[in-house]
Amino acid sequence: MASALLSSLAAASAPPSASLSPREINKMKLNLPCTSFKNSSIKTKSFGRIRMVATTNVSRFDGVTMAPPDPILGVSEAFRADTNAMKLNLGVGAYRTEELQPYVLDVVKKAENLMLERGDNKEYLPIEGLAAFNKATAELLFGADNPVIKQQRVATVQGLSGTGSLRLAAALIERYFPGAKVVISSPTWGNHKNIFNDARVPWSEYRYYDPKTVGLDFEGMISDIKAAPDGSFVLLHGCAHNPTGIDPTPEQWEKIADVIQEKNHIPFFDVAYQGFASGSLDADAASVRLFVARDMEVLIAQSYSKNLGLYAERIGAINVVCSSADAATRVKSQLKRLARPMYSNPPVHGARIVANVVGDPTLFNEWKAEMEMMAGRIKNVRQKLFDSLSAKDKSGKDWSFILKQIGMFSFTGLNKAQSEHMTNKWHVYMTKDGRISLAGLSLAKCEYLADAIIDSFHNVS
């Protein structure tokens, strides 16, 4: 083929016949069909009487820049590349066994077997999702006897786990509350800002974390919520605040509700750990139920990634508590309208798992026992880490904040340089804000982690 091309180009270098047009000559030179080079660059190189002509296509996507790596998922990529035997992945919030292996709940396997036995099909769900799931998830969140359920004042739509449910709610805010601001805690889960930015919903922050005490800056939180424009959406973590693990006390929740009511704000809860934080479904829903009991209109996004281990099933819901059944019907219709062009309808597999577990008394009790086991393992690791830090650190530093935090995350108080030192020297992979996932820690490695934290805290400024 190459010799044929050279022969063609050599022939093309001879004086052309007077009868050939310039267009025909060019066609003969390239031995190609006539074409437009509108989006190409043309390079010509001469070899004696032979002229080589090549085209280099210019991509229409040359203006697309490289996106930065995800700060959380990128931690796992770096961890996988590390060959050190002592390495720890404390970045991603996913439950691990004491052997640091992924865990599929026994109750999930039983629920899946029920689906196989029944021969459940894979037909499309309605836009709002599986009816049995929507009923179960609302009852888990509010309590089956809650007046808002009996009065049909809750619009529940199955979403793509917590992230998708938050995004659907953000689209509702953007469309029907134009210009309304969402105020979020500082710090917060890294994806919250991305979600509101993508939905073009303006946001600002309220103070939450106090680095001096490694605790809650309650006065700053109240002050900033008061200062927010009337009618703002206040994003709250229902339990096990991510990333800090610091929750308000019941008395503080009451004061937060007071201020939100006074300012005519709308509370917007992200509930990602119900039952997984304390081991009790009811205890972890107490903050949401407090606001609902005050007859406030509330938005609540739910996720079953953690408490049922359904990370990849993408199963969750958005609930909107309204002042009337008529308002709830209209809100639900608009949530469905927003969902249709986004993803059309949600996945069925995870929804059936939840419906099967909650709908069967035996499976439901087994689930609660497994949640208590998972929450208990994390509590044991938290206690062991505290004990190890207290025994090894001779500086007198108070590490008790680790025990005061709750859920799978702990905010260590380490800064960016210290967190990087944890990775570079100790092979401990974590987010740069100092957050660690205790779900990725075993009792056997608590002393090793304590050594790494003490070294990084005291020897890296």
End-to-end CA distance of the chain: 66
Q: Which amino acid is at 343?
A: Y
> From CA 293, how far away is CA 311, in angstroms rounded?
31
Q: Ramachandran region of residue 291, left (φ > 0), alpha (ψ -120 to 50) or beta?
A: alpha
Residue 67: strand, helix, or coil: coil
CA angle 192, 193, 197 (to 5 degrees): 120
219, 277, 251, 218: which is closest to 95 by C-alpha? 277
Query: Are 455 and 424 spatial neighbours (Cβ–Cβ below 8 Å)?
Result: no
**Strand 266-271 to strand 233-237: parallel, antiparallel, or no bridges (unpaired)?**
parallel
* Sequence-distant (≥ 6) Cβ neighbours of residue 189 within 8 angstroms: 237, 242, 243, 270
* Sequence-distant (≥ 6) Cβ neighbours of residue 34 within 8 angstroms: 23, 26, 27
Which amino acids are annotated catalytic?
A: 189, 270, 306
The residue ranges of DSSP E strands in 218-329, in sequence order, are 233-237, 266-271, 298-303, 315-321
> From CA 403, how far away is CA 413, in angstroms rounded?
14
> From CA 191, how far away is CA 173, in angstroms rounded?
17
> From CA 299, how far away is CA 235, in angstroms rounded?
9
231, 202, 205, 238: which is closest to 316 by C-alpha? 238
Query: Are 236 and 255 spatial neighbours (Cβ–Cβ below 8 Å)?
Result: no
Q: For residue 410, what are the β-bridge partners?
A: 436
Diameter over CA atoms, the chain: 98
* Sequence-distant (≥ 6) Cβ neighbours of residue 196 within 8 angstroms: 170, 182, 184, 202, 203
